[in-house]
Copies of this chain bind each other. A is one copy, B any other.
Amino acid sequence: MATEAAADDVSETYEQFLAKVKRINNVGNASSVLQWDQEVMMPEGGTPARSQQLSALSALHHELLTDDEMGAYLDELEDADLDDEQAAVVREVRREYERATRVPTELVEEISETTSEALPKWEQAKEEDDFSVFAPILEDLVELKREYAEHIDPDADPYAVLFADYEPYLDLETAEETLTRLREELVPLIDEIRESDADLAFDAFDGEFDVDTQEELTRDVLDTLGYDWDRGRLDTAPHPFSTGTQFDARVTTRFDAEDPLGALTSTVHEFGHATYTLGLPDEHYGTPLGESRDLSVHESQSRLWENHVGRSEAFWERFLPTMKERFPQLDDVTPAEAFEAANEVYEDNLIRVEADELTYHMHIVVRFEIERELIEGDLAVEDVPEAWNDKYEEYLGVRPETDAEGCLQDIHWSHGSFGYFPTYSLGSVLAAQLYATADAEIDDLETKVREGEYEPLHDWLTENVHRHGCRYTTPDLIEEATGEAFTADYFLDYVTEKYGDLYDL
């Protein structure tokens, strides 16, 4: 009887705790709607009110997450007899709670104010192509984020603490080993490609492509891949993104009349993010079991669809005829040529967001190495441009001639986001590992991709990744889904084979 009564108490506490967690997540999801609206719909004049609305919601979110009631729930549930799902929810909320309570409010506010000031400084510096405009406030941000890391864990490597904000369960050693391996194996491959005499159809999509027709084509590609329009929508945004919940996961894209592949690729990428969100279980909406795992896993889903599906020859066999209906000017292009054009390795590109699937990772390695040294105090802010340019020359064989095309190109540091970049590469690497497993487990996946039969791949990803939400930590999720630990083997095999074939290496 005593035990049953105690179990009832736990169960009641857990229900109250869960109601509070849902409320917190609903506030967070409301903020996401406001942010989507701000990027996609809001008239320009709306900014002052929107900033205040978002900051009110963000403050409430923080207060609800860190109040005494939440602390008491977590303490009571810590040693309680919980089932696996309940334990996972407590684990995830505890983690958020700890990180949020350890940092003093004043520091949070100072970081928030400094990033608000940093954004226009970064914009001005980029506009004027002058790193020295941004350098002083970047120095402040580095210092503040070091302090922030110190509060969360004074004994840990501060960069590892910051990295864990974006990727809590894959540790920094894994990230570092992976990025080092990518550098060591991809730099020679990129060199070989640069020296290759292969004559590929990089001009297959040259020309002018009406933007309204491109918009129809992006709807075609979403139809082809099986986007659920009852739970989503497509809009344009200056920087494409995807956002939402399992009930409403929206994608955005952008158009360039001279680059029809750009909108397609970016749409398929955001579609990948959205399918992850849409695959989360409805019944766990508002709790960690109904929320996606962290950035690397999210990026694995976008990269899987973007690269392993959208840049495959099988996909182009399926999709090129649709594209020709919209753009008869492409009548002579063959699927093999489309495939080649979609996989061009750009030899002198300096810009991360315009990079191909292969050199992309060298852009990340540069950022990773620099931001890590910055946070650890091994590199002075004033020396960033030179370090950046040296690394570009070393890893990519091109040297930026301006700061704007060099270390000022990305917005991340002005947001105070240090430790974010590696998740892009980890996501691509994980995409290859997941796709290899799916390929082994689904009968003749390539034929299915060629025939536009995407449901088995959707189902496999939902079954093995999406439906779990945050039930498992990232390493456990990967182990469950693929039967082994996170590894770059599959990614390196994939690119070596694919680009070896393409470039006759």
- B43 and A231 within 8 A (CB): yes
A308 within 8 A of B: no
Contact B248 A60 (CB under 8 A): no
Shortest CB-to-CB span from A247 to chain B, Å, is 4
Evaluate contact between B29 and A33: CB separation under 8 angstroms.
Answer: no
Q: Are B230 and A57 in contact (CB under 8 A)?
A: no
Contacts of A44 in B (CB 8 A): 230
- Shortest C-beta distance, A1 to chain B (Å), equals 32
Chain B CB within 8 A of A82 CB: no
Which residue of chain B lies nearest to A64 when distances are taken between CB atoms in the complex?
B60
- Residues in B whose Cβ lies below 8 Å from that of A45: 228, 230-231, 247-248
A125 contacts the other chain (CB 8 A):
no
How often does this chain occur in the complex, in copies? 2
A59 closest partner in B (C-beta): B23
Chain A's interface size range is: 35 or more
Whether A417 is near chain B, meaning CB under 8 Å from some CB there, is: no
**B57 and A27 contacting across the interface, CB-CB below 8 Å:** yes
Interface segment out of the listed A34-42, A157-165, A180-188: A34-42
Report yes or no: B48 in contact with A285, Cβ–Cβ below 8 A: yes
For residue A49, CB closer than 8 A to chain B, the reply is yes
Decide if the interface of chain A is mainly helix, strand, loop or mixed.
helix
Decide yes or no whether A422 CB sits under 8 A from chain B: no
Instruction: Find out whether the CB atom of A53 lies under 8 angstroms from the CB atom of B26.
Output: yes
Complex CA distance for A29 and B479, rounded to whole angstroms: 44
List the B side residues contacting A53 at CB < 8 Å: 26-27, 29-30, 33
Asked if A252 is at the interface (CB within 8 A of a chain B CB), the reply is: no
Chain B residues whose CB sits within 8 angstroms of the CB of A26 once the complex forms: 52-53, 55-57
Q: Is A232 an interface residue (CB 8 A)?
A: yes
Contact A248 B49 (CB under 8 A): yes
Q: Are B233 and A49 in contact (CB under 8 A)?
A: no
Select A231's contact among B30, B46, B231, beta carbons within 8 Å: B46
A50 at interface (Cβ–Cβ under 8 A)? yes
Q: Closest Cβ of chain B: how far from A56's Cβ, in Å?
A: 4
Task: Give the 3 A-B CB pairs with smallest separation, nearest first.
Answer: A46-B248, A26-B56, A45-B231
Interface residues of A (CB under 8 A from B): 22-23, 26-27, 29-31, 33-34, 37, 41-50, 52-53, 55-57, 59-60, 228-233, 244-248, 250, 282, 285-286
- 28 cross-chain CB contacts under 8 A: A22-B56, A26-B52, A27-B57, A29-B49, A30-B53, A30-B56, A33-B37, A37-B37, A41-B41, A42-B248, A43-B229, A43-B233, A43-B248, A43-B250, A44-B230, A45-B230, A45-B247, A45-B248, A46-B245, A46-B247, A47-B247, A48-B247, A49-B245, A49-B285, A49-B286, A52-B285, A52-B286, A60-B60
Please give 10 more A-B residue pairs, beta carbons under 8 A apart, in addition to A45-B228, A48-B247: A27-B57, A30-B34, A30-B56, A41-B233, A45-B247, A45-B248, A46-B248, A49-B246, A50-B247, A52-B286
